[in-house]
Structure 1
Amino acid sequence: MSYLFYDLETSGLSPCFDVPLQAAFVQTDAELRIQRELTLRCRLPAHVVPSPDALLVTGITPAMLEEQPLSHPEMMAQIARIMTDCRPCMIIGYNNISYDDEIIRQSNFRTLLPPYLGSMTGHGRADVLVMLRAVIMLEPDAVVVPRSPDGKPVLKLGQVCRLNGIDLSESDAHDALADVRATRDLFKLLLDRAPTTMTAMLANAKKSGPNIVMADDDVVVLGAVSRLVPVAPFIVSPTNPNARIVIDLSEDPAGLVDLQASELLALIRAGRSPIRQVKTNAQPILFGWDQAAHSLVTPLPLSVYRARARALWDHPTFTRQLALALEGRYDDREPSPWVDEQLYSGGFVSNADAAACERWHQLPWALRANFAAQHIRDPRLRSLAIRQVFLSAPETLSPDACRRGQDWLKHRLATRDEVPWMTIPKALARCEELVATGEPASRPALNAIRAWLVERRDALGPDEAGLVESG
C-alpha cells in the first residue's frame, strides 16, 4: 500500500469556522520512496477573519492571503481529487486525526464536498504523533524525547525531529511542505527503530485492527496521551457505531455494577468514571495483553484484571444500564444555531443530496442558486450552497438575495456579539495584546496585520466601521 503524507496551515484553530490556507502532500510508494510532491495555497474567503496568532506562526502575510490563484472552494476541490485519486493508500499526518482531518472534514462540508472523503473505503488513517506516543510508551529507548524544564515530554514536530537527527529548522517549521517531508522522515525512523509497535499501530489505522484486538472480549491494553491502562471491552457505543466502550481496570470498578443509568451518566459527564470510548476509526493506541502488559505502571496479574472484568460482564443489569446511560449522553446538548457547526447534529448527508451536491459543482455559477433551491433537500447544504454562490458569484443572485448576503457578511466580520468565530474586533484586540506581551521582533508583522484588519473594517462602510470601533 502507498502512503499519502499531508499537512495544512490554517487561518486559526477552529475546525468549524477556520479554513486551510496551505496544503502540502507527499505521496510515496510502500517503501516510502517519494513519488510526487504538491503544495496548494488559496485566497482567504471573504467571510473569514484569520487569527493573528496563526498568521504569526505560519508567516503568512496579508498580501499572501489575497494574491493566491486558487479560491478556497477550488483548493478544497483539488484536495478532494488528490485523496480520491490516490486510493487505496494510508493517509498520514502529524496530529492529523485530532486536527487536520477534522479541518478537511468541516471544510468539505461547508463547500458541499463529501465530508468523510478521507475515511472512504480503501484508505487507512494514521497519525505519526499518535504512533510516536505509542512508541514512547512501549519502546522508550527507540526515540529521543524532548523535555520541558519540568521534565514533561514536548512532542512538537520540529523539536522531536531535530533531536532525532531529522532536518526541520525552526524557520521551516509550519511551512506545510517542510512539515510533510519531516513527518515522512519521522515515520520512517519509527518504523526502523520500533517495528513491532509500528506494525501494530499501522494495523490500528484501519477499523479492522482495533476490532480484531478486542474480538475475544478479553483484557487488552489501551494508551492515552502518556500512560497505558488495562481495559475490558464492552458494548459498541449506542451513539457511534465506530466506537467500542471499554472499562479501565486499573482500579477495581466493582462500585459501578449496581448503579442505575442516570448515576452512570452523571459519572461519565463529570469525567470521574473508568468508562472509556475507543474510536476504532481513529487509530487508537490499543494492544493485546501480551504485547503491552510489560509497559503498564505497577501491573497486577492478568487474573486480577480478568476477575474485575468478569464481575461486570456477568452482572445481570450492568451492561443494560451502561447502554442506557450512553444513549442519553448527549441529550442535554443544544444544537448550534450556526450551520457551520451542524455537520454532526443534522445526520449524515443522504445519497440523493450527495449526488445533487456533485451535480451542483459541475454547473456554471449562474445556475447554482436555483439548482440548490430545487434539488438539495438538506437545509444545511442548501444554506451553504447559497453562501458559496454569494461569496463566489454574487452577481448571479437576485438583488434581495445579495442584500441578505451583505447583511450576513457584515455581521460575520464586524459583530461584537459573543460568537464562536474570529471577528475583526476580536482580531484587533488580539493584535494589541500581542504587541504588548509578545516579542519585539514580531511587531512589524503585527503592525501589517493590524493595518490590513483596519482596512477590511473600513471597507464595510461607515455604519459598520463605527459599530466595530464603539463599545
Structure 2
Amino acid sequence: MGFLYFDLEASGLGPCVDMPLQAAFVQTDADHRVRRELTLRCRLPVHVVPSPDALLITGITPAMLEHQPLSHLEMMAQIARLLADCKPTMLVGYNNIRFDDEMVRQSFFQTLLPPYAASMTGHGRLDVLTSLRAIVMVEPEAVVIPRDAAGKAVLKLGEVCRANGIALSQDDAHDALADVRATRELFMLLLDRAPTTMATMLGHAKKSGPIALMEPGEPLILGGTSRLTPVLPTIGSPTNPNARVCIDLSLDPVGFIDLAAPDLLVRIRSNRSPIRQVKTNAMPILFAWHQAAHALVDPEPGDVYRDRARAVWAHPTFLRQLALALEVQYADREASPWPEAQLYSGGFVLDADVAACRRFHEIEWKFREHHATWHIRDPRLRSLALRQIFLNAPEALSPEAWRRGQDWMRHRLTTEDEVPWLTIPKALTRCDELAATIEPGSLAALDEIRAWLLQRRDALPQGVEDIPVLAAS
C-alpha cells in the first residue's frame, strides 16, 4: 500500500460552515518515493464569510478568494476522483483526523458526493500529529520537541520540523503543498527514530488494529493529547458502532461501580468521568500494557490495576447499568436545524439517494432542480442540491427557487441571529478587534480584508428577509 499525504487550507475552523480553499497532495509508493504532486485551489463560495484570522495566517487575499479556476464543487469532485483513483492507500496528514478529514467529509456531504469516501473504501488514515504525541509520551528522547517559555511542548508542524532539521520556513508554513512535503519528511523521520511506537500507530490507522488490541478485555494504556491513562476495554458503545467503552483504572471503581444508570450518567457527565470512549476508526493512541506502562505519571502498583479490572468484570450489574446510561447520554441533544450540520444526525444516506446524487452530477444544470425535487428523497440532500444549483448556476433555477435563494444568501451573510457560521457583521467586528492587537506589518492586509467585506455587504440584494428555505430541511 502506498501513501497519499495531504493538507488543506480553509476559510476557518468550522468543518460544517467553513470551506477548504486549497488542497495539496503528494502521492508516494510504499517506500515513500514521490510519484506525483497536485495542488488545487478554489473560489470562495458566495455564501461563506472567511475568518479574518484564517486569511491573515494563510496569506490568502480577497483577490485570491475570487480568482481561481475551480469552484468549490469542482475542487471537491477532483478530490473525490483522486481518492478513488489511488485506493487503497494510507491517507497521511498533520492533525488531519480532527480537522482535514472532517473538512473533506463535510464538504463532500454538502456537494452531494459520498461523504465517507476517505474512510470506507479501503483507505487507512494516519495522523502524524497524533503519532508525534504518542512518541512524546512513550519515547520522549526519540525526537527534538520545541518548548515554550513555560516548558510546554509546542507541536506546531513548522516548529517541530525546524527543531529536527526539516526545512519549513515560517513564510512557507500554511502553504498546503509546503506543509504536505514537510509532513512526509517528518513522518519518515518518526519511522526512523521511533520504529516500535510508529509500528503500533500504523496498526491503528485502520480500525482493525485497535479492535484487535481491545478484544481480549485486558488492561491497556490510552493516550490523550499529553497524558497516558490505564484503561480497561469493556463493552461496545451503544451509540457509536465504531467506539469501545473503557474504564479509567486510575480511579477506584468502588466510587461508581454500584451506581444505577441515572446516577452513573451524572458521574459520566462530571469533570472526573471514569469512562473513556475509544473511537476505533480515529487512530487512537493505544498501547499494550508492556509498551507504555513505564510512561504513566504517578502510577499505582500493577496489582492495583489488575484488582480494579477484576472488580469491574466480576460485578453482576455494572456493565448493564453502564450501557443503559450511555444509551441516553446524548438523548437531550437537539439536532441542528441547518442541513450542513446534519450529516451525523440524519442517518446514513440510502442507496437510492446515493444513486440520485450521482445522477445529479451527471445531468445538465437546467435539469437539476427537477431532479432534486422528484428523485432525491433525503430532505438534507434535497436542500443541499438546491443550494448547489443556486451557488453554481442560479440561472437554471425557477423564479421562485431563485428568489428563495436570494433570501437565503442575504440571511446567511447578514443575520443578527445566533447562528453557527460567521456573518459579515461578525467578521467586521473581528477585524476591529484584530486591528488593536496584530503586528503593524499586517495592518495593510487587514484593511484589505475589511474593505472587501464592506464591498460584499453593500453588493447584497435588498428586500424583506424571508425564512431562508434553502438553509432549512
Q: TM-score range by the shorter chain?
A: over 0.9
Q: CA deviation at 1:144?
A: 0.6
Query: 2:178 matched to 1:178?
Result: yes
Stretches of 4+ moved more than 3 A in 1? 461-465
Count of residues in Structure 1 that have an aligned counterpart in Structure 2: 465
Alignment correspondent of 1:469: none
Alignment correspondent of 2:107: 107
Query: 2:156 matched to 1:156?
Result: yes
Alignment correspondent of 2:254: 254
Alignment correspondent of 1:188: 188
Which letter maps to 1:37? E
SS of residue matched to 1:4: strand
CA 389–463 in structure 1, closer or farther in 2 if over 3 Å, else same:
closer
Q: CA deviation at 1:298?
A: 2.9
Alignment correspondent of 1:386: 386
Alignment correspondent of 1:323: 323
What is the distance in 2 between the residues matched to 1:141 and 1:419? Answer: 46
Alignment correspondent of 1:52: 52
Q: CA deviation at 1:229?
A: 1.4
Q: CA deviation at 1:266?
A: 1.2
Query: 2:409 matched to 1:396?
Result: no
Alignment correspondent of 1:81: 81
CA 85–286 in structure 1, closer or farther in 2 if over 3 Å, else same:
same
Q: Deviations over 1:52-76 (max 9, x none)?
A: 0000000000000111000000000
Which letter maps to 1:308? R
Q: Is the 8 A contact 1:410 1:464 kept in 2?
A: no
Which letter maps to 1:118? A
What is the distance in 2 between the residues matched to 1:251 and 1:374? Answer: 56
CA 24–246 in structure 1, closer or farther in 2 if over 3 Å, else same:
same
Superposition map of 1:398-417 within 5 A: 398-417=398-417
What is the distance in 2 between the residues matched to 1:267 and 1:19? Answer: 37
What is the distance in 1 between the residues matched to 2:417 and 2:272? Answer: 34
SS of residue matched to 1:452: helix
What is the distance in 1 between the residues matched to 2:301 and 2:461? Answer: 71
SS of residue matched to 2:217: coil
What is the distance in 1 between the residues matched to 2:80 and 2:207? Answer: 22
Give the alignment's TM-score, normalised by structure 1.
Answer: 0.97
Which letter maps to 1:44? L
What is the distance in 2 between the residues matched to 1:182 and 1:399? Answer: 50
SS of residue matched to 2:84: helix
Q: Is the 8 A contact 1:312 1:318 kept in 2?
A: yes
Q: Deviations over 1:374-425 (max 9, x none)?
A: 1111000000001101111111111111111100000101112221101110
What is the distance in 2 between the residues matched to 1:264 and 1:272? Answer: 12
What is the distance in 2 between the residues matched to 1:437 and 1:215? Answer: 52
Alignment correspondent of 2:468: none
Which letter maps to 1:42? C
Q: CA deviation at 1:436?
A: 1.5
Alignment correspondent of 1:455: 455
Q: Is the 8 A contact 1:62 1:448 kept in 2?
A: yes
What is the distance in 1 between the residues matched to 2:318 and 2:462? Answer: 64
What is the distance in 1 between the residues matched to 2:462 and 2:216? Answer: 68
Higher mean alpha-carbon deviation, 18-27 vs 309-318, is at 309-318
Q: Is the 8 A contact 1:414 1:464 kept in 2?
A: no
Q: Is the 8 A contact 1:254 1:312 kept in 2?
A: no
Superposition map of 1:278-289 within 5 A: 278-289=278-289
SS of residue matched to 2:49: coil
Q: Is the 8 A contact 2:52 2:430 kept in 1?
A: yes
Which runs of 5 or more structure 1 residues have no equivalent in the other structure? Answer: 466-471
SS of residue matched to 2:277: strand
Query: 2:351 matched to 1:365?
Result: no
Superposition map of 1:66-77 within 5 A: 66-77=66-77
Q: CA deviation at 1:228?
A: 1.1
Which letter maps to 2:346? G
What is the distance in 1 between the residues matched to 2:446 and 2:273? Answer: 45
Superposition map of 1:239-250 within 5 A: 239-250=239-250
Which runs of 5 or more structure 2 residues have no equivalent in the other structure? Answer: 466-473
What is the distance in 2 between the residues matched to 1:372 and 1:342? Answer: 18
SS of residue matched to 1:125: strand
Q: Is the 8 A contact 2:410 2:461 kept in 1?
A: no
What is the distance in 2 between the residues matched to 1:427 and 1:70? Answer: 25
Higher mean alpha-carbon deviation, 385-394 vs 266-275, is at 266-275
Alignment correspondent of 2:134: 134
Which letter maps to 1:97? I
What is the distance in 1 between the residues matched to 2:354 and 2:332? Answer: 30
Alignment correspondent of 2:471: none
Which letter maps to 1:93? G
Q: CA deviation at 1:268?
A: 1.6
Q: Is the 8 A contact 2:406 2:461 kept in 1?
A: no
Which letter maps to 2:143? V
Alignment correspondent of 1:91: 91
What is the distance in 2 between the residues matched to 1:456 and 1:175? Answer: 26
Q: Is the 8 A contact 1:168 1:179 kept in 2?
A: yes
SS of residue matched to 1:140: coil
What is the distance in 1 between the residues matched to 2:297 and 2:464? Answer: 59
SS of residue matched to 2:300: coil
Q: CA deviation at 1:462?
A: 5.5
Q: CA deviation at 1:269?
A: 1.8
What is the distance in 2 between the residues matched to 1:224 and 1:253? Answer: 21
Which letter maps to 1:19? M
What is the distance in 1 between the residues matched to 2:462 and 2:86? Answer: 50
Q: CA deviation at 1:211?
A: 0.9
Which letter maps to 2:124? G
Query: 2:146 matched to 1:146?
Result: yes
Q: CA deviation at 1:270?
A: 2.2
What is the distance in 2 between the residues matched to 1:404 and 1:152? Answer: 51
SS of residue matched to 1:230: strand
Which letter maps to 1:314? A
Q: CA deviation at 1:463?
A: 6.0
Q: Deviations over 1:427-464 (max 9, x none)?
A: 11111111122111111001111111111111014669
Q: CA deviation at 1:243?
A: 0.3
SS of residue matched to 2:136: helix
Query: 2:239 matched to 1:236?
Result: no
Q: CA deviation at 1:23?
A: 0.2
Q: CA deviation at 1:271?
A: 3.1
Alignment correspondent of 2:424: 424
Q: Deviations over 1:190-237 (max 9, x none)?
A: 000000000010001111100111121111111111111111011000
What is the distance in 1 between the residues matched to 2:340 and 2:27? Answer: 31
Q: Is the 8 A contact 1:144 1:160 kept in 2?
A: yes
What is the distance in 1 between the residues matched to 2:257 and 2:212? Answer: 27
